[in-house]
């Protein structure tokens, strides 16, 4: 009996020693994608991160990266503990970096999502998406970060994949940039056509309406769910509670409302989960299905097997969405 008690106490001691509490964590890194110039991003985010530090009792540092892949890898190796992603990149963070969606943005105007756009300069002579689809070799094209939902995944699927086109070969030239880079490239006639989104045009409407007046929107996507924030699942439970409580209550006074407004015209955050990503997972699979279905170089047995595998995954996602 005494031996058994000693064993139980030893196990308890090991468990207790291995438990991590918020008091053990002195700093957190918050991953932020560089959708525009770093200086502008810091002005937008630092007041919010300072408030978060005070509220949770842990210093929160901004971790600014030029692409989503950099933040995903940093979160995977615990260099980043919380990060802002688009829905597409959040899938990789959940699947590969031990991440978990816990809140999503709330738009200032109450819209439950945002839109992807294809844009051109008003003086370019390009007046319709049909022109772009028929005469791709006449145009240069700006696409988003490979992990971007609105800059790459959504327009690639709806505009190109469904029309059996590959943007890499359809255009005279294709280049990749962030949302601000693509908007300015169209504005300055560096590319003819580019992807953009309603967050970027909303910001331009407020800060530089004369620039937005020079832009024509050729195509608008279906509604995309608002961006999620993803934390590492292994953060201490008590710290997670502090973070979540801070997020879902932030924006209660005029000062906080102004900070949120400057961060992509936000009203605040609401609780969310990995379930938010299910429609985007479907979109990825639909895109893959069409690619394999139209692959003339793939043998019929291989194609049948691959399509069967994708259909099974789609059926599983459909069940989860019910």
Check residues 301 and 22 and name the one with the higher pLDDT: 301
Per residue in 173-196, is it b (16+ CB within 10 Å) or e — as a string? ebebbbbbbbbbbbbeeebbbbbb
Residues 99 and 8 in one domain: yes
Strands 113-114 and 193-197: unpaired
Residues 171 and 215 in one domain: yes
Clarify whether residues 96 and 133 are in a common domain: no
Residue 106 sits in the same domain as residue 244: yes
Among 188, 205, 224, the domain-final residue is 224
By C-alpha distance, which of 90, 78, 38, 110 is closest to 229?
Answer: 90
Give yes or no: residues 145 and 199 share one domain. Answer: yes
Annotate 50-102 with DSSP letters as a single string.
Answer: HHHHHHHTSEEEEEEESSHHHHHHHHHTTS-SEEE--HHHHHHHHHHS-EEEE
The answer to whether residues 107 and 132 belong to one domain is no
Please report the pLDDT score of residue 2 as a whole number: 47
The torsion angles phi and psi of 82, rounded to 5 degrees, stand at -135, 145
Same domain, 80 and 217: no
Q: Which residue, of 251, 272, 293, is where some domain finishes? A: 272
Claim to verify: residue 218 and residue 317 sit in the same structural domain: no
Q: Say how far apart CA 13 and CA 19 lie, in whole Å.
A: 10
The predicted structure's pLDDT at residue 11: 42
pLDDT tens readout for residues 125-178: 999 999 999 999 999 999 999 889 999 999 998 999 889 899 999 999 999 999
What CATH code is carried by the domain that includes residue 231? 3.40.190.10
Task: Note the pLDDT tens digit of each residue in 82-91.
Answer: 999 999 999 9
Helix axes 278-293, 300-321, angle to 10 degrees: 160
Averaged over 225-252, what is the pLDDT? 96
20 and 105 co-located in one domain? yes
Tell me the pLDDT of the chain averaged across its residues. Answer: 90
Q: How many domains does the chain have?
A: 3
Looking at the structure, do residues 189 and 49 belong to the same domain, yes or no?
A: no
* Domain span at 97: 2-111+226-272
**Does one domain contain both 234 and 220?**
no
**Each residue's pLDDT tens digit, 246-266:** 999 999 999 999 999 998 889
The three-class DSSP label of residue 131 is helix
Terminal Cα distance for the chain, rounded = 52
C-beta pairs of 182-190 under 8 Å, 24+ apart in sequence: 182/119, 182/142, 182/143, 182/144, 182/151, 183/119, 183/215, 185/142, 186/119, 186/120, 186/121, 186/142, 186/215, 187/121, 187/211, 187/214, 187/215, 189/121, 189/124, 190/140, 190/142
3-class secondary structure, 35: coil
Stretch 277-288: mean pLDDT: 90
What was the pLDDT predicted at 9?
Answer: 43
Looking at the structure, tell me whether residues 255 and 265 fall in a common domain.
yes
Q: What percent of the chain has pLDDT above 70?
A: 93
d(CA 1, CA 279): 55
């Amino acid at each position: 009996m005494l031996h058994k008690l000693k064993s139980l106490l030893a196990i308890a001691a090991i468990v207790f020693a291995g438990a991590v509490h918020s008091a053990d964590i002195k700093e957190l890194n918050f991953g932020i994608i560089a959708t525009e110039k770093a200086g502008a991003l810091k002005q937008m985010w630092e007041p919010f991160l300072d408030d978060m530090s005070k509220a949770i009792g842990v210093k929160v540092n901004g971790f600014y990266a030029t692409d989503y892949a950099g933040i995903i890898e940093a979160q995977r190796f615990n260099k980043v503990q919380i990060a802002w992603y688009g829905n597409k990149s959040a899938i990789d963070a959940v699947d590969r970096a031990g991440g978990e969606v816990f809140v999503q943005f709330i738009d200032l105007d109450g819209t439950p999502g945002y839109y992807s756009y294809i844009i051109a300069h008003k003086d370019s002579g390009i007046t319709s998406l049909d022109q772009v689809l028929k005469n791709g070799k006449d145009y240069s094209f700006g696409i988003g970060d490979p992990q971007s939902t609105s800059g790459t995944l959504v327009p690639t699927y709806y505009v190109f994949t469904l029309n059996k086109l590959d943007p890499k070969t359809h255009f005279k030239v294709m280049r990749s940039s962030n949302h601000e880079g693509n908007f300015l490239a169209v504005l300055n006639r560096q590319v003819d056509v580019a992807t953009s989104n309603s967050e970027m045009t909303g910001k331009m409407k407020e800060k530089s309406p004369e620039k937005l007046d020079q832009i024509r929107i050729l195509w608008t996507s279906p509604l995309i769910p608002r961006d999620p924030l993803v934390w590492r699942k292994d953060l201490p439970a008590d710290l997670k509670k502090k973070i979540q409580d801070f997020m879902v209550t932030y924006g209660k006074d005029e000062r906080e409302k102004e900070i949120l407004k400057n961060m992509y015209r936000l009203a605040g955050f609401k609780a969310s989960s990995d379930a938010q990503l299910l429609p985007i997972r479907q979109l990825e699979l639909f895109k893959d299905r069409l690619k394999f279905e139209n692959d003339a170089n793939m043998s019929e047995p291989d194609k049948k097997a691959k399509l069967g595998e994708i259909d099974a995954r789609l059926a599983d996602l459909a069940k989860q969405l019910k």
